[in-house]
Amino acid sequence: MKNIAVIGAGTMGNGIAHTFAQFGYQVQLIDISEEGLKKGLATIEKNLDRMLTKGKISEEEKQATLNNISTYTQVEEGVKQADLVVEAATENETIKLEIFKTLDKVCPKNTILASNTSSIPITKIAAVTQRPEQVIGMHFMNPVPIMKLVEVIRGYNTSNKTTTLVMELSEKLNKVPVEVNDYPGFVANRILMPMLNEAIETLYNNVAGVKEIDTVMKLGMAHPMGPLQLADFIGLDVCLSILEVMYDGFKNPKYAPCPLLVNMVRAGKLGVKSGEGFYDYTNTKKAEEVAKQFA
């Protein structure tokens, strides 16, 4: 595999593009918005500069990484030579299914189609294509250049060949791939999201305040970031979407989103990306401090 197309230049998309490019792959970063592509590239360069300052990469490696990335606003142009496409669009089932229908039509027949979805069943995504054996989940963790884990999710029809190729490719990125089966939330979010939701319920029930809840989990459980701060970092809308997928998939009330989470998302309080969630991030330095906890 030499050519990797990434759909979506947001937080996950630009992180995935950065990682592949840093390891020498030719990356085609695709987004419907030219402005989105500019922001994505700016984020990649900023993260590379941070790595350069810390001595993790050289100036030559930084430039080589940037040179390995080309941008496109037309899917057809960006994927025409892709060996692998990694979809990293918003966590919305309708949007993802439409993307995969398009990819199936315009990608070469041998192209593997992967989704970075954190909750939507791969089997369901694969079902809208004519190549279900070549559809797989590659769930990277945020921030992608730093975090080691890749959840590799094989759908009902995903072939052994596809799974092996993706596992080996993940290792070439200096990641640790873990193969999991295709159930809502997979492993990471099936365990993480109920914990975050319970933290929100704890706040909702006035058991303790935001900082108190996070302090208990950081100091008592050695978590690097409290659950409410982590929810802000992930995006409260993303948390809500994942919980809704899990609740719909399992029909189990333990996955039902807390009413406080629902109301905050309705009010546009989405966490770091909106400037306010459980914490106030209107000060950009504050937002950067949060991000640095994972750097």
The pLDDT tens digits of the residues spanning 83-106 come to 999 999 988 999 999 999 999 999
Q: Once rounded to an integer, what is the mean pLDDT over residues 154-174? A: 98
151 noted as active-site residue: yes
Confidence check: pLDDT of 295 > 50: no
Q: Once rounded to an integer, what is the mean pLDDT over residues 35-64? A: 96
Residue with tokens 């030719």: 26
Confidence check: pLDDT of 41 > 70: yes
**Second-level CATH architecture of 3-181:** 3-Layer(aba) Sandwich (3.40)
Q: Once rounded to an integer, what is the mean pLDDT over residues 170-188? A: 96
Q: Specify the higher pLDDT residue, 72 or 1.
A: 72
**Second-level CATH architecture of 189-290:** Orthogonal Bundle (1.10)
Is 118 annotated among the ligand-binding residues?
yes
Tell me which of 87, 139, 244, 276 is the catalytic residue.
Answer: 139
Q: What is the pTM of this model?
A: 0.89
Confidence check: pLDDT of 210 > 70: yes
288 noted as active-site residue: no
Residue spans of alpha helices (H) in 156-278: 160-172, 188-204, 210-221, 227-234, 236-250, 259-266
Tell me which of 3, 119, 151, 241 is the catalytic residue.
Answer: 151
110 noted as active-site residue: no
Confidence check: pLDDT of 2 > 60: yes
- In this prediction, residue 289 carries a pLDDT of 60
For the chain, give the mean pLDDT: 95
Q: Specify the higher pLDDT residue, 118 or 137.
A: 137
Is 96 annotated among the ligand-binding residues?
yes
Percent of the chain with pLDDT over 90: 93
Q: What is the CA radius of gyration of the chain?
A: 19
Confidence check: pLDDT of 288 > 90: no
- In this prediction, residue 283 carries a pLDDT of 75
Exposure class string for 67-82: b at 16+ Cβ within 10 A, else e = ebbebbeebeebbbeb
- CA angle 125–113–241, rounded 5-degree value: 40
Q: Residue 287: pLDDT band by 50, 70, 90 thresholds?
A: low
Confidence check: pLDDT of 70 > 90: yes
Q: Once rounded to an integer, what is the mean pLDDT over residues 194-211? A: 98
Q: Would you list the domain boundaries of the chain?
A: 3-181, 189-290
